[in-house]
Amino acid sequence: MMYWYGSHLAFWQVALMWLGTVAFWVLVAWAVFALVRTASGGSSLWAGDARPPQNAQRILDERLAKGEIDVEEYRRLRHALNASDRHREPVSGTR
């Protein structure tokens, strides 16, 4: 009869067990984070949901391209946008 003393596990087996454990807990933490973020009304973590913010000039250009406004109104609104940009105070990046 053969008696084993110790675990007789190779180093790579122990390393795989540790990697599996760490990967499992990282997955659990990510799932909890995703659930909390989506439940609190934050943006979704999956790609395709978030769109970059658009500035007013780009929205105005898109409305003209879609035919929602005519050229006369486009020029009037663009002039109003440029006039309001000139009167706006510059935002300082330092505190």
Determine contact, residues 48/27, Cβ cutoff 8 Å: no
Q: What does the domain layout of the chain look like in residue ranges?
A: 56-87
Per-residue tokens: 75? 């020029």
- Predicted confidence at residue 92, as pLDDT, reads 55
Q: How do the pLDDT tens digits run along the chain, 95 residues long?
A: 566 666 677 888 889 999 999 999 999 999 999 999 888 876 555 555 455 556 888 899 999 999 999 999 999 998 988 887 666 655 555 54
Give the integer Cα–Cα distance in Å for 68 and 74: 10
The predicted pLDDT at position 93 comes to 52
pTM listed for this prediction: 0.40
